[in-house]
Amino acid sequence: MAAVGTWSFSRPAVERMRCMLLAGQNATDVVETAIAEVEDDVDTGRHIVGRGGYPNSKGVVECDAAIMEGVPGRFGAVAALRGIAQPCRVARKVMEKSPHSLLVGDGAEAFAQELGFTSEPNANMLSDHSATAYREYLEKNKLVRGGHDTIGLIALDLSGNITVGVSTSGAPFKAPGRVGDSPLPGCGLYADHKVGAAAATGDGDKIMCYCPSFHVVQLMRQGSSPNEACQAVLADIQRRIGGDKCFELGLISLNMKFLSA
């Protein structure tokens, strides 16, 4: 049994996961529940997740989320989803109820509504903090600094099932319809029940060009520990882009023997 998450603000979620796993709950339920609680907490919105997250350039909050089980073919995601405070729950429904794997925009919202989710007014998705930040963006062209804080959680349950989930409201004041790496398999997340799982966080427009989560899992398949795999992927990307160039990228990974962040 193990649980791991991105960034310090995920620590309460990781502790919640640990308790749920010890109680015998399955990895997918654990990941979905833990992420949903973070998504719906307006105070964590400033970490660019769910309710209270920063809106796009038109003032609308659009969220991306995905969930992937280690079992082959078990993946679901939503992107540019409006009005739903817990997009990871919709992503799971895509995995379980839709013939598709990724739904975006109006189609994702319509799917959610068909399954009983309530679309809230955009004002409900904003917090005082994010609304103020948006006004400052419009009036002073003031940008949010240091914020690409996707939440990513990985859980390995007592039965040996592994699941990874991610969620974000995306880059502050992004173009409407912009989608980052988070809901893309291999980029923002990846899982294989024979090996382990990985998740990425950072500058999604750059991350998606390198498929780092898939790369981490493949290196673990070849015998690397999670720490070794993450370090190797970061070093490989650094070599490819050049030593004088960099972008924000964090990786977490978990296999059946070793834990790393």
> In degrees to the nearest 10, what's the CA dihedral of 102, 105, 110, 112?
60
The annotation status of 201 as a binding-site residue, yes or no, is: yes
The annotation status of 188 as a binding-site residue, yes or no, is: no
**Contact between residue 63 and residue 92 where contact means Cβ atoms under 8 Å apart:** no
The annotation status of 203 as a binding-site residue, yes or no, is: yes
- The three-point CA angle 21-15-11 to 5° equals 140
Only one residue has tokens 């659009």, namely 62
Task: Enumerate the active-site residues.
Answer: 150
The annotation status of 70 as a binding-site residue, yes or no, is: no
**Contact between residue 225 and residue 259 where contact means Cβ atoms under 8 Å apart:** no
The annotation status of 181 as a binding-site residue, yes or no, is: yes
3-class state of residue 75 by DSSP: strand
Distance between CA atoms of residues 39 and 47, nearest Å = 10
The annotation status of 179 as a binding-site residue, yes or no, is: yes
The annotation status of 29 as a binding-site residue, yes or no, is: no
Q: Which amino acid is at 252?
A: I
Cα diameter, the chain: 54
120 secondary structure, DSSP code:
P
Distance between CA atoms of residues 153 and 66, nearest Å = 11
The annotation status of 44 as a binding-site residue, yes or no, is: no
Annotated binding site: 178-181, 201-204
